Structure 1
């Protein structure tokens, strides 16, 4: 019995330590949303909009944690158009998005600044877009919210910061 309790305590300590390390590593990424209430396709309901923006922020932070030590990434998201379209006829407590593969692909407009030890080493505007979002293999589960947007962001991040996509996939 004492042995089991020690194992549980040790496992808990390891989990706490890993969570602390992740939070510290993720702090090298700063995400700001410019006029999110005017975004092309994020819910007008403030609570739902905040949920989407929080999830995207966490995703950017997770990716930013893969940057080399001493680098800080600052992202300003200017517009978001989520994959699919909301179908008003299917309104429920949770909005249902219908994916047709037509003109409903995900798009994100952003700008970023990458700093190394406080000095700017890169910056650009970026237009993320995935017109063939329904035809790609997607490592995110079919039930995961924003799976198409996350895949698109992963592809952009890997290319923009020269980080192998396989390394990003392992950090999930």
Structure 2
């Protein structure tokens, strides 16, 4: 009987916890970043520590960088929305086979960073100013000189996003404005 009560409690608690969990992590503001179905991303794995904490760090860092680089490009009243559908961090997590207590991320040119997202820029009147889908991959990420983010753990991903904003989005918004 105790086993039956315990099993019922476990199933009930799991159902309640699943209902209370947020659908996707989001960063709101003039530039909104939605990390859609992150459990299906190619690679946002940590080598050590809690996976959920690492994912939150990755999403917060990249989302804030995107917000910081896009916000100055927007005219008053415009809003941007990014929906990230896949992320593959530079490198690959490999087991350390006892050399360390955790796995390690090996960064080599054969593991470039990649991010897939859709975006829209909407004017104050609700009209779409810019719209698109991107599948960014930086094949030469490890062969360029250091940037202002050289000491950041996500420097390759930040640089890839910054370059896309500068080379593509800024030109698109200039042409529209």
Fold shared, TM-score > 0.5 on shorter chain: yes
- Describe how 1:63-142 pairs up with structure 2 within 5 A: 63-67=69-73, 68-89=75-96, 92=101, 96-102=104-110, 104-117=111-124, 118-142=126-150
The number of equivalent residue pairs is: 136
Q: Structure 2: where are the runs of 5+ without partners?
A: 1-27, 172-177
* CA–CA distance in structure 1, aligned partners of residues 100 and 118 of structure 2: 33
Give, in angstroms, the shift of residue 141 of structure 1: 4.1
Residues 1:39 and 1:29: Cα distance change in structure 2 (over 3 Å) = same
Work out which of the residue numbers 142, 163, 167 in structure 2 matches 1:159: 167
Q: Structure 1: where are the runs of 5+ without partners?
A: 1-25, 164-172
Residues 1:91 and 1:152: Cα distance change in structure 2 (over 3 Å) = farther
* CA–CA distance in structure 1, aligned partners of residues 83 and 101 of structure 2: 31
Work out which of the residue numbers 38, 41, 44 in structure 2 matches 1:42: 44
Give, in angstroms, the shift of residue 126 of structure 1: 0.3
Contact 2:149 2:159 in 1 (8 A): no
Cα RMSD of the aligned pairs, angstroms, is: 2.0
Q: Which residue of 1 aligns with 2:8?
A: none
Q: TM-score, normalised by structure 1?
A: 0.72
What's the secondary structure of 1:153's corresponding residue?
Answer: helix
* CA–CA distance in structure 2, aligned partners of residues 72 and 92 of structure 1: 45
Contact 1:138 1:148 in 2 (8 A): no
Give, in angstroms, the shift of residue 115 of structure 1: 1.0
Residues 1:142 and 1:121: Cα distance change in structure 2 (over 3 Å) = closer
Q: TM-score, normalised by structure 2?
A: 0.70
Larger radius of gyration: 2
Work out which of the residue numbers 47, 58, 67 in structure 2 matches 1:61: 67
Moved over 3 A (4+): 90-93
Give, in angstroms, the shift of residue 65 of structure 1: 1.8
